[in-house]
Amino acid sequence: MKADPWPSATTEDYLERIHELILEKGYARAVEIAAALRIRQPSVTAMVQKLAESGYLNYEKYRGITLTEKGARVAAAIRERHMILERFFVLLNLPPTTRDKDIEGIEHCLSPETLASLAGLVDFFESRPDVLREFARLRQRTVRKRED
């Protein structure tokens, strides 16, 4: 097992999807990983082998893929992060497509401190719907203004 120079963005994407697939269907197969990440199967095989190398996955050729303890830990953190971002973007009230695309982009770049702060912001707004409503109203106005 090779040392880990901090999971790359791509690594995180793979782990995230694999984790999701396992949660959803109980297993993760190359075809589905490929489909979910919109890449080809050979790329998946190659990457899966590297992830196994690095100790994130248990992998047996032609058999199957599971998360190691380490992989599961990382995947859980990624999921947590993703959820914080989802909640935050809901506050911003953006079309789901935009939201998802942006989250995919930024989720690999945020430090734990920032994430924590962001979570705090979300908590704040979720516990203060009055403030949130006020912000939303303000947004509405400026959007209307831009459309003039």
Q: Which amino acid appears at position 132 of this protein?
A: L
Fill in the per-residue mask, 59 to 98: x = in contact with a copy of itself (CB under 8 A), - = not in contact.
------------------------------x-xxxxx--x
Q: Quick one: which of 25, 40, 133, 139 contacts a copy of itself (CB under 8 A)?
A: 139
138 binds, among DNA, a copy of itself, none (CB under 5 to 8 A by kind): a copy of itself
- Is residue 138 part of the contact set for a copy of itself (CB under 8 A)? yes
Residue 30 contacts which entry, DNA, a copy of itself, none (Cβ below 5-8 A, type-dependent): DNA
**What separation in angstroms does the CA of 92 have from each of 66, 86, 95, 132?**
36, 10, 9, 10
For residue 66, give Cα distances in angstroms to 5, 82, 84.
21, 21, 25
Site for DNA in 92-121 (CB under 7 A): none
H or E segment at 27?
Answer: none
The distance of closest approach from Cβ of residue 89 to DNA in the complex, given in angstroms and rounded to an integer, is 23
Please name the residues in contact with 113: beta carbons below 8 A apart, sequence gap of 6 or more.
Answer: none
Is there binding between residue 42 and DNA (CB under 7 A)? yes
Distance CA 33, CA 15 (A): 10
Site string for a copy of itself, 94-113 (x = CB under 8 A): xx--xx-xx-xxx-xxxx-x
User: Do residues 38 and 1 touch, judged by C-beta distance below 8 A?
Assistant: no
